């Protein structure tokens, strides 16, 4: 419904004495409309038409919020004071402790027991042939690919051996096999 001058006049004349629900019924009957009490309340708000109790309710709510804020601020100040007291006590306690005497152990171990290396082998599938089309372009596998991968593995083991053998002797290489060597 669009508000007309007449319906606004009825609203202004009756808003103080009638509840929004009753005012809604009156306007709907008089102008053959279908307003809700919520629509009446919104229009009153736009026109700044307040009932007697509404202003008091807002004032009460504001004063409650102010007192609640004051209470929380007081509580916060109390907590800050407690925290400051605790921190001061900790600081005083730490400062009263004697300084720590550092001792250094200049003995550095220069000889080490020998170690063993382990290499885990599995799923070599020597002899298997897989074309790139079989794997939707992801990979391929054949004897040449196996030889390339084995060469990289040997180079990696040699590199790791050369790095670690500078620190301790490595006389043994254990090769652990999980299977699937031949297809």
**pTM of this structure:** 0.40
Instruction: Tell me the average pLDDT across 39-59.
Output: 74
Any domain includes 137: yes
Share of the chain above pLDDT 90, in %: 43
Last residue of a domain, one of 13, 32, 49: 49
pLDDT at 120: 95
Least confident of 55-69, 104-118, 146-160: 55-69
Q: What is the pLDDT of residue 53?
A: 59
In DSSP notation, the chain reads ----HHHHHHHHHHTTTS-HHHHHHHHHHHHT----HHHHHHHHHHTT---HHHHHHHHHHHHHHHHHHHHHHHHHHHHHHHHHHHHHHHHHHHHHSPPP---------------EEEEEE----BT--B-GGGGTTS--B-HHHHHHHHHHHHHHHHHHHHHHTTTS---EEEEEE-S--B-
Q: Which of these three, 15, 34, 49, is where a domain ends?
A: 49
Residue 165 domain boundaries:
116-177
Among 12-21, 67-76, 146-155, the least confident range: 12-21
How many separate domains does the chain show?
2
What is the average pLDDT across 90-115? 85
């Amino acid at each position: 419904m669009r508000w007309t001058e007449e319906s606004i006049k009825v609203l202004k004349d009756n808003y103080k004495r009638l509840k929004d629900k009753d005012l809604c019924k009156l306007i709907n009957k008089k102008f053959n409309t279908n307003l809700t009490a919520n629509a009446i309340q919104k229009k009153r708000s736009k026109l700044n038409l307040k009932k007697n109790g509404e202003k008091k309710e807002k004032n009460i709510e504001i004063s409650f919020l102010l007192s609640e804020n004051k209470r929380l601020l007081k509580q916060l100040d109390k907590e800050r004071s407690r925290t400051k007291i605790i921190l001061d006590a900790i600081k005083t306690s730490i400062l009263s402790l004697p300084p720590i005497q550092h001792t250094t152990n200049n003995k550095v171990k220069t000889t080490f027991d020998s170690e063993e290396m382990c290499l885990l082998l599995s799923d070599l599938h020597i002899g298997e042939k897989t074309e790139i089309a079989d794997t939707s372009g992801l990979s391929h596998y054949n004897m040449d690919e196996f030889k390339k991968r084995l060469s990289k593995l040997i180079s990696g083991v040699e590199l790791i051996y050369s790095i670690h053998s500078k620190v301790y002797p490595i006389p043994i290489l254990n090769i652990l096999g999980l299977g699937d060597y031949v297809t």
